[in-house]
C-alpha cells in the first residue's frame, strides 16, 4: 500500500470515528483496529494525536468549503438544499462534534472558520 493511500485511510477512518465518538474516539489503537493498519504507521505519518487532529481538521475545512460551494449553487431551496445535506452528511455530523467540543482550542478555531464558510451562502443578505 502506498504512503498516500495509507494516510488517506487513516484520515478517512479518523474522520468517521471523530463523527461517531468525538475526541474520545481518537485513540490510535482503536483506529489501527478499524483500518487494519499498524499503529507504528500512524505515528510515522502523524507523530502524535495533536498533529493527527490537525490533519482531520484540515480535511474538515476542505469539506466545509465544498459544502459552501454547493450551497452557493442552490437555485431552488427544495430539494437542492436537502440534496446538499445528504451529499455532505458526514461533514455535517462532524460539525456537530465541533459544537460539542468547542472547549478544545483547535476545534473552536475550525468551528468559527466553518461558520464563516457556510453562513454566507445560507443566511439571507
What cell was used for 99? 459544537
User: Cα dist. 118→60, 102, 115 in Å?
Assistant: 13, 17, 5
Please answer whether residues 24 and 77 qualify as being in contact, where contact means their C-beta atoms are separated by less than 8 angstroms: no
Crossing angle of helices 39-46 and 3-21, in 10° steps, is 100
Please answer whether residues 15 and 56 qualify as being in contact, where contact means their C-beta atoms are separated by less than 8 angstroms: yes
- Which residue in this structure is represented by grid cell 482503536? 30
Q: Note down pLDDT in tens along the chain; length 125 residues.
A: 788 999 999 999 999 999 999 999 999 999 999 999 999 999 999 999 999 999 999 999 999 999 999 999 999 888 999 999 999 999 999 999 999 999 999 999 999 999 988 876 766 65
Which 8-state DSSP code applies to residue 104? S
Q: What pTM was estimated for this model as a whole?
A: 0.92
User: At the top level of CATH, which class does the domain 3-122 belong to?
Assistant: mainly alpha
Please name the residues in contact with 83: beta carbons below 8 A apart, sequence gap of 6 or more.
none
Q: What is the pLDDT of residue 124?
A: 60
Transcribe 9-41 into DSSP letters. Answer: HHHHHHHHHHHHHGGGG--HHHHHHHHT--HHH
Amino acid at each position: 500500500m502506498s504512503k498516500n493511500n495509507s494516510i488517506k485511510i487513516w484520515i478517512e477512518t479518523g474522520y468517521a470515528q471523530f463523527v461517531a465518538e468525538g475526541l474520545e474516539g481518537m485513540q490510535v489503537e482503536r483506529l489501527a483496529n478499524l483500518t487494519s493498519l499498524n499503529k507504528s504507521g500512524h505515528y510515522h505519518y502523524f507523530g502524535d494525536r495533536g498533529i493527527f487532529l490537525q490533519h482531520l481538521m484540515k480535511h474538515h475545512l476542505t469539506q466545509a468549503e465544498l459544502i459552501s460551494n454547493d450551497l452557493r449553487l442552490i437555485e431552488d431551496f427544495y430539494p437542492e438544499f436537502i440534496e446538499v445535506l445528504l451529499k455532505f452528511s458526514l461533514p455535517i455530523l462532524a460539525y456537530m462534534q465541533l459544537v460539542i467540543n468547542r472547549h478544545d482550542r483547535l476545534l473552536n478555531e475550525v468551528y468559527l472558520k466553518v461558520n464563516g464558510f457556510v453562513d454566507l451562502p445560507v443566511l439571507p443578505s
